[in-house]
Chains A and B, each alone.
Chain A
Amino acid sequence: MQARINWAFAEVCDRAESVDELQVAFMHEIRGLGFTHAACASHVDPLRPPAEAVMMVDYPLAWLQRFSDKNYAKRDPVYWAARRQTLPFQWSDRVFRAGLASDQVRILDEAAEVGLTDGITIPIHAPDALPASCSLVIGPDGVDPLNAQKATWYGVYAHECARRLHLAGVPPKPELSPRERQCVQLLGQGKDDGAMAIILGLSEHTVHNIVRRAMNRYGVASRVQAFVRALKDGQIRLEDVAS
């Protein structure tokens, strides 16, 4: 039976001390599997990525330039599909192509012109990471299906290691106290101080102060911002507030 996990690659990733080092190892493996290019990256402007973005990309520079100039990160159908599903998909798949807007088809056509004709994209979802995916480009000679299957694991693993390296350099995220989390969650459910006070059996004044403390932890000026940050950090889950 096929080993799905390449422990040697996992070890190299685990030991990597920089994203550059990780990228070299990742690209080496991916090319060894028969892919021509790869982009294991957050869904952001590739030439102006925010600090927390993962960017392991070896696409032709001309394409990255175009992608950046035209702000394709907002409309790229590959990103678009990756945000809505968890299963890997192939760009030539009819199911993926169906229902794309004409400007999105054009992005795929333009990518094909620079050699990014067909590929496999592995969606990557983590509550506290930017939306991301790992795209592996298939050249004219195709790719061995067994390698395509292996590569999905490589992409996810490399992204996770890159993220960990990023997090190591970032100051720890503020943590809300249980009471603060409770209040911010109620805030997200649309409750005001009065309603929160009744629900929690506290005074309105106390509730107001608890929310204020949560805002201070995040250094934000509004209650909505505090809620959004708590949600983004994974301190509150979307399913806790949406019912």
Chain B
Amino acid sequence: MIHIVTAENRRHYHHALMEMHRQRKQVFIDQLKWRLDESAGIEIDAYDCPEAIYLIEAAAPRAPVTGSARLLPTDRPHLLGDHFRFLCDSAPPAGADVWEATRFCPAPDTAPGQPRHDLLGRMIAAIMETALIFGIERVTFVASAGLTPLAAKAGWDAQPLGGARRVGRDRLTAFVAAIDQRGLKRVRELNDIKTPVTRFFGGELTAAA
């Protein structure tokens, strides 16, 4: 299951959040060689804040993390607006009903190929479920060359915001995806997902667990 972690319930997820930041360091800094800040073995940047919403896949709040992603409100500083504007032909979508999805991070031991594709499918379903709960209508994201075809064909209505641009050793494309029930239904069908993938534990987690 994929846990929705917000400012409201993140106190129940200290271990999962720490593990997510540790995996982000292993994946983005150690494996992909992105030039990001690290501290105490974790990758954490200026956009990690209480307002960010994290999607963390784990069997339970204290179980091993198998994948994660970060959702940022776009009515405050976010990556597409601050760093990747040049990927957009016109002003990037932003506002109270737009989120930005960043830092999609499969656990470092995720096998390449199908297991990674499956995780991406579940994560996209989770992004859509969460967006629908919060009344978000569009989600932007930047995809690498490897991720672009998968994210574009995941079943949601994702449109490029501009052409692919070479950045370092990769080619990046910015997208905006429409969030609606039909799209979620298609994502679930294409990825063989039968039930909602997300769970939200609020203040009663301790009593419920």
Residues on A lying within 8 angstroms of B by beta carbon are: 1-2, 34, 87-90, 93, 95-96, 120, 141-146, 148-149, 152
Contacts and interface: CB of A to CB of B under 8 A. Distances in A.
A144 B17 contact: yes
B40 A1 contact: no
Nearest to B47: A1
A95 B38 CA distance: 14
B18 to A, nearest CB: 5
Contact of A90 (B17, B41, B49, B50): B41
Residue among B14, B15, B17 with most chain A CB within 10 A: B14
A141 to B, nearest CB: 6
B94 interface: no
Return the 4 tightest CB-CB contacts between A and B, nearest first: A142-B14, A88-B40, A142-B15, A93-B41
Given A34-B14, A144-B14, A144-B17, A152 B39 contact: yes
Interface of B: 10-11, 14-15, 17-18, 21, 38-42, 44, 46-50, 77
Considering residues A87, A142, A145, A152, which has the most beta carbons from chain B within 10 angstroms of its beta carbon?
Answer: A145
B50 A143 contact: no
Given A87-B40, A93-B41, A146 B14 contact: no
Contact of B77 (A1, A88, A143): A1
A143 B13 CA distance: 9
A197 B15 CA distance: 64
Given A1-B77, A34-B14, A145 B41 contact: no
A120 B40 contact: yes
Contacts of B50: 146
Contacts of B21: 145
A87 B11 CA distance: 26
A87 B39 contact: yes
A222 to B, nearest CB: 42
Contact of B10 (A2, A144, A152): A144
Given A145-B18, A146-B50, A152-B40, 5 more contacts: A1-B49, A87-B38, A90-B41, A142-B14, A145-B21
B18 A142 contact: yes
A143 B41 contact: no
19 contacts: A1-B49, A2-B46, A2-B49, A34-B14, A87-B38, A87-B39, A90-B41, A90-B42, A93-B40, A141-B14, A142-B14, A143-B18, A144-B17, A145-B42, A145-B44, A148-B40, A149-B39, A149-B44, A152-B40
